Amino acid sequence: MLDFINNIPKAELHLHIEGSLEPELMFSLAQKNNIKLPYKNIQEVKDAYNFTNLQSFLDLYYNGAKVLITQQDFYDLTFEYLKKCHKQKILHTEIFFDPQTHTHRGIEFSTVLNGIKQALNDAKNEFKISSKLIMCFLRHLSQEDAFKTLEQALEFKEDIIAIGLDSSEIGNPPSKFEKVFKKAKELGFKLVAHAGEEASYEYINEALDLLEVNRIDHGVQAIQNEQLMKRLKQMQIALTVCPLSNTKLKVFETMQEHNIKKMLDFGINVTINSDDPAYFGGYLNENFIAVYKALDLSKQQIIQLAKNSFNSSFISIEEKQDYI
Ligand code: ADE
Ligand code: ZN
């Protein structure tokens, strides 16, 4: 079964490129760019990855991202992740990036985007991996700042398929970004949002009603409300669930307590994803394997999860011909 999981073709729909920054690359970029890190060596970095909730992770994640300075740095970061995709039989990936994390440090939007884009092009040629880019707004910042970021993205509109919403969830509800999501929809972007990761299931209803998203990122708190569970089943909207992230950030104490199997059995369109693999101890296959081992998924359920990943992707009908 482990061979089967490792070799089944998959799509990944929830991956923060900044969250794929491995400690080794963090250290070498810090040296190259003369950035001071609060760690003496790689082991100290790894030891620091002991999180109590989402915010305790985000604090280290934003600090780690400071080593990314040049276009080549963003290229190297992205290409390293794409090499992992190739090894893990990920044929298609939809990658989040957080421009504000970088523009607020004086890095040009174009430096970030062009570095990532070049790596995606090279992986398409070298590994035949297809990809889409999703630009996320940081929800701890203002809607006005999100509007400025949307403005900067317009020059690169053809390179960005969707707009997303991430960072500190509690206290920053989807309603805070209603206007900017409306504008993004008018401009033709697809929409996603992190909702119901550690905040109330009500945030999922808000993301659906006020932001009109095409997918929900995480969404595991839906289990708190039967009516919402029925709604998600009826809509067949995808939830991009990230099991190792959820246990590392203490959304669930153990993988045995994770609700992904319950949601799958209920008929909700769930997918498995890695979120920030360099911080949470595993890429996509490790997430599949952890769930399989803890919750005893059947082979049919593994196949269903892999199918859901392609069916819920933003690959267009025309592009789908390439997979047949
Ligand atoms: N940014 C990177 N990973 C995230 C997560 N799991 N939740 C919210 N924002 C994030
Ligand atoms: Zn995420």
* Per-residue pLDDT at 316: 87
Quick one: which atom of ligand 1 is closest to the CA of 98?
A: 1
Give, for 255, the enclosing helix (H) or strand (E).
none
Q: Name the residue with the closest Cα to ligand 1, atom 8.
A: 167
pLDDT at 324: 57
Q: Is the pLDDT of residue 321 over 80?
A: no
Of the bound ligands, which one is closest to the alpha carbon of residue 249?
1
State mean pLDDT over 174-182.
Answer: 98
Q: How confident is the model at residue 320 (pLDDT cuts 50, 70, 90)?
A: confident
**Averaging pLDDT over each range in 37-41, 223-227, 316-320, which range is the top one?**
223-227
Question: How confident is the model at residue 323, as a pLDDT?
Answer: 64
pLDDT one-digit tens code per residue, 137-168? 999 999 999 999 999 999 999 999 999 999 99
Which residue's CA is the nearest one to ligand 1's atom 1?
A: 167
Residue identifier of the C-alpha nearest atom 10 of ligand 1: 167
pLDDT band at 229 (very low <50, low <70, confident <90, very high): very high
198 lines ligand 1 (CB under 6 A): no
Topology, domain 2-323:
TIM Barrel (3.20.20)
Task: Please indicate if the annotation marks 275 as binding a ligand.
Answer: yes
Categorize the per-residue pLDDT at 26 as very low, low, confident or very high, splitting at 50, 70 and 90: very high
Residue by residue, what is the 3-state secondary structure of 134-159?
A: EEEEECCCCHHHHHHHHHHHHHHHHH
pLDDT class of 260 with cuts at 50, 70, 90 = very high
> What are the boundaries of each domain within the chain?
2-323
pLDDT tens readout for residues 33-85: 999 999 999 999 999 999 999 999 999 999 999 999 999 999 999 999 999 99
Q: pTM for this one? A: 0.98
Average pLDDT, the chain: 97
Average pLDDT over residues 123-143: 98
Count other C-beta atoms under 10 Å from residue 148's C-beta: 15
ipTM of predicted complex: 0.98
Alpha helices in the chain (DSSP H): 2-7, 23-33, 42-48, 54-64, 71-87, 99-103, 109-127, 143-153, 178-186, 202-206, 226-235, 243-248, 260-266, 277-280, 284-295, 299-311, 317-320
What is the DSSP-derived secondary structure letter of residue 53?
A: S
Q: Is the CB of 14 under 6 A from ligand 1?
A: no
Mutate to test the pocket of ligand 1, among 13, 21, 54, 135 (most ligand atoms within 8 A of CB): 54
Residue 234 buriedness (CB in 10 A; 0-12 / 13-18 / 19+): exposed
> Which one of 194, 218, 241, 248 would you pick to mutate in the ligand 1 pocket, going by the greatest count of ligand atoms within 8 A of its CB?
194
276 is in an annotated binding site: yes
Report, as an integer, the average pLDDT of 20-33.
Answer: 97
Q: Is the dihedral of CA 117, 121, 126, 132 positive or negative?
A: positive
pLDDT band at 318 (very low <50, low <70, confident <90, very high): confident
Distance 282 CA to ligand 2 centre (A): 14
Quick: pLDDT tens for 297-310: 999 999 999 999 99
Tell me, in angstroms, the distance from the centre of ligand 1 to residue 166's CA: 6
Mean pLDDT of 283-301: 97
